[in-house]
Structure 1
């Protein structure tokens, strides 16, 4: 009887341990304050050991630790160790961007004969909605854990006229970590007045964990065209064919293959996907041959701003005291085409009063064990 009880005890303990290992964990801790409002750091981990951190300041993705081919985990997104650093001017590491991602020419657009003037922060054009969403204090609506996923829901209310945009807009961002090592981000917004909305995530990725630049990492983007741009990186309204040019990424190739042949020694182009509007599709694949890490992107959005950190110059000190230099990471900002409100030939970014805007991007992390093994 005694032996039976001891055996039963260890069996129960082992099953509890197995069950805990097989579960998601979600924690929420105070990280700082803005005025009297609390700012939180939320930590999510899946049963595989993949680990992400989020904060309600800017609805930012702070950390994403993913395995390599030897199951070594490293953080693959740029950012900072402290909240104070995120609260200072920076390249929007990991931030949620809105109301309208990217550029709007001369900070103006017209709806039904009414001309709206947007905040340009003293510049010529509106960029990333004037920085409203990326520096906002979002509300943590809830956290959730389910059998195959866990996540956080953030919400933010933008008043009519905020940064020049029309309409009271109630927005929501849901981050979901899945058992398949995916980070799924759902963007939602409701408006009481016709307006333009285009939200995105502004994470900078490096699949080698920032040990080296990204030039050896290989990318494919399912896009035959980019938006033609002027010297201010604002679309002219035309689409430019990229097949068989130095900007062509329809066939997987090292990022560094043509990077130094491009203006400003890097990519800073909006690639227009070969896909149906509003339909999810895998449109981007990135591979790091050294670590074996892979990143695939599935999205409902019509385009992506592919940027290779051309302006980073080592003056920004990030996590662990790392100086972030040129080409240390890349951005994959899925979004509506820049300056869409001024180009009727682009897929519409108009959200009518009473309608709900909803777009999704899924960053799928994996490992190719055959690469460079």
Structure 2
């Protein structure tokens, strides 16, 4: 556990008091460029990322709750590692071979982000931390027993955060199982490179020519759509607010970067805030990215500066395998077999010009 693990020099540990619950253990990584990344055991989460803009002003470029209690009631999934399967599983069920598995429905009739017993709500163990000339890292570990959340097999998961002196933040996921089970992990942090206001003035580029078609419940139909000539065409960088009103409900879709889902690092997206000069480039081993524009944020909770978290206050760029893959034979499989190792790497590169 965190309390039992000695922190290397330069890595800061702390706790966040929470009424009626054990304090949340946190750790902060920092580099020579002034970037600070605060992590938490709950959901192996990203609480904040502080960077400077082109003028030297420091801001937290993630949405973070003002009230610590909201980290425990985090139905917006701010900053957490989600799984076993990120995104939606239609009808809250899937089959492996002849066996059907039923999952808790926590998004209408569907299963979302691993359900109420998913990895996002667990207190992960911190099992390793390192600090050296290249940067700092922390590794979290969690176990999901057989049958938890309706999933088969016992799943062991590790997530390492590495903050480099080159201003990169790498997330490296590893998982093993003793029975065939679906695994598609991601982090659900909400970016706001301005550190305030909303994200409609941000500019986004996504390196994808296709998008998964969705039904009315935001579950994939199995069809891939061409983005050309549509409001979801982000192949050239454009302002997020430019076409969002032409896409009913706002953006909440999976852009397919690699139809074959080869596990090699590839450019995924670049998010830019012209006024501050900040940008974050994303490369990942994953097949694509779920771009969610914060459509369901409703002002009922406040961010750290006390302002309400309104619609479009932040956006998610969630790298993972095809959503609802177990229910579509034409999608690349996300089933992890015994004796195999699930591996995912996603790297965020920060800059301010």
TM over 0.5: yes
SS of residue in 2 equivalent to 1:282 = strand
Equivalent residue number for residue 333 of structure 1: 318
In 2, Cα distance between the equivalents of 1:255 and 1:24? 41
Equivalent residue number for residue 158 of structure 2: 172
Equivalent residue number for residue 160 of structure 1: 146
In 2, Cα distance between the equivalents of 1:81 and 1:149? 29
Does 2:349 match 1:364? Answer: yes
1:264-343 superposed matches below 5 A: 264=249, 266-274=250-258, 277-343=262-328
Equivalent residue number for residue 5 of structure 2: none
Does 2:199 match 1:206? Answer: no
1:51-70 superposed matches below 5 A: 51-70=36-55
Q: Please state how far the C-alpha of 1:225 moved relative to its aligned partner.
A: 0.7
Work out whether residues 24 and 45 of structure 1, in 8 Å CA contact, stay in contact via their aligned partners in 2: no
Equivalent residue number for residue 137 of structure 1: 123
Larger radius of gyration: 1
Work out whether residues 182 and 362 of structure 1, in 8 Å CA contact, stay in contact via their aligned partners in 2: yes
Q: Please state how far the C-alpha of 1:245 moved relative to its aligned partner.
A: 1.1
Does 2:175 match 1:189? Answer: yes
SS of residue in 1 equivalent to 2:11 = strand
1:224-235 superposed matches below 5 A: 224-235=209-220
* Structure 1, unpaired ranges of 5+: 1-22, 369-373
Equivalent residue number for residue 4 of structure 2: none
Does 2:324 match 1:352? Answer: no
What is the RMSD computed on CA atoms of the aligned residues?
1.8
In 2, Cα distance between the equivalents of 1:293 and 1:206? 10
SS of residue in 1 equivalent to 2:305 = helix
Give CA-to-partner distance per residue, 1:201-228, whole Å, 9 cap, x none.
0000011002x21111111100111110
Please point out which of 70, 92, 96 is paired with 2:81. Answer: 96
Structure richer in helix, relative to its length: 1
Q: Please state how far the C-alpha of 1:313 moved relative to its aligned partner.
A: 2.0
Work out whether residues 158 and 174 of structure 2, in 8 Å CA contact, stay in contact via their aligned partners in 1: yes
Which moves more between the two structures, 75-84 or 279-288? 75-84
In 2, Cα distance between the equivalents of 1:36 and 1:311? 27
Give CA-to-partner distance per residue, 1:87-109, whole Å, 9 cap, x none.
02430100100100000011111
Work out whether residues 24 and 150 of structure 1, in 8 Å CA contact, stay in contact via their aligned partners in 2: no
SS of residue in 2 equivalent to 1:360 = strand
Give the number of aligned pairs: 344
Work out whether residues 169 and 191 of structure 1, in 8 Å CA contact, stay in contact via their aligned partners in 2: yes
